[in-house]
Amino acid sequence: MSKKFRQKVNKKKVTLDVLTYAALIIIVFLVNLPFISMLGTAFKGKSEALSSTALFPSELKFDSFIRVLTKTSFPVNILNSAIVSVTVTVCCIALAVCAGYAISRFRGTVFNLYGIFVLLLQMFPAMLMLIPLFVIFNSLHLVDTIYSVMIAYTAINLPFSIWMTKGFFDTIPFDIEEAAMMDGCNQFTAFLRVVLPISMPGISTVGIFTFINAWGEYTLASIFLRTDGVQTMTIGLQKFVMQFTSDWPALMAASSVATVPTLIFLLIAQKYLIKGMAAGAVKG
């Protein structure tokens, strides 16, 4: 009797597992349906993209990718976005780590006021800064240069980055630093050798958010960047959308190319995020 019961339980478990995996596959397919449709359209010809509603093309055609990569300025736009996003990410991480650690560890009127000021900056709408930023950058001759968006993106993402790193530093006991200082480290050395390795999950998260925000930003880039040589990826995508029609295969091919750097960055950041979480396991 017990053997039949175990067989029945195992059969139910197998059935439940099959249904669970089937449901997960369907959910993953539905979530990624826009991305799959984008790839399918990118490999279609112009006539097929306008006439066919099929998800996948009848024949794979690479004409759109070749045209985007060789006959347009989109590769330059991708390179500009990569330079801007990486620079902004590095600057935000460096500044946010220092500021977040200072707010977390030091007490006093100056640090309290600075924390409140950073919080107010986070609440301030970025769109209200467009005209003042344009006037400032124009007087400094930074309009139509990638330095303008680098500075603007860093300033916009920095308050959120500071508060995120500050919250993570708050979870790390100061006793760990005191133990390091008793072993001969000063506070700066203890910060570099002890706190930073434990803080890698928070720092990786800041980097991911900052990179994605800088990579996909359009409004500021469309205002400050005007020539093809300095325009970023989001403006390059806009060029494939015309007034009365759109080159859908070329637009989808360019969009597919634009997703590759973000996927590579997320894969790399995920690896460091897992390493940081493993290093932070000792803090409990």
41-79 pLDDT, tens per residue?
A: 888 887 777 777 777 787 788 888 888 888 888 999 999
pLDDT at 23: 93
**For the segment 226-265, what is each residue's pLDDT rounded down to a tens digit?**
888 899 999 988 888 775 567 788 888 898 888 888 888 7
* pTM recorded for the entire structure: 0.80
Note the pLDDT of residue 148. Answer: 92
Cα(141)–Cα(148) distance, rounded to whole angstroms?
9
150-202: pLDDT as tens digits: 999 998 898 888 888 888 888 888 888 888 888 777 888 888 888 888 888 77
Lowest mean pLDDT of 16-25, 87-96, 109-118, 153-162, name the range. Answer: 109-118
Among the listed residues 175, 192, 166, the one whose alpha carbon sits nearest the alpha carbon of residue 284:
175
Residues 155-180: b if buried by 16+ CB within 10 A, e if exposed = bbbbbbbbbbbbebbeebeeeebeeb
Domain ranges of the chain: 2-63, 71-283
User: Cβ neighbours of residue 277 under 8 Å, at least 6 residues apart?
Assistant: 200, 201
Q: What is the pLDDT of residues 12-35, one digit of tens each?
A: 777 888 889 999 999 998 988 888
Which residues make Cβ contacts (< 8 Å) with residue 145, sequence separation at least 6?
A: 230
Element (H, E) at 146: helix 146-170
pLDDT of res. 154: 92
Task: Pick the closest to residue 219 from 241, 204, 230, 235 (CA basis).
Answer: 235
Does the domain made of 71-283 have the CATH classification 3.30.365.10? Answer: no
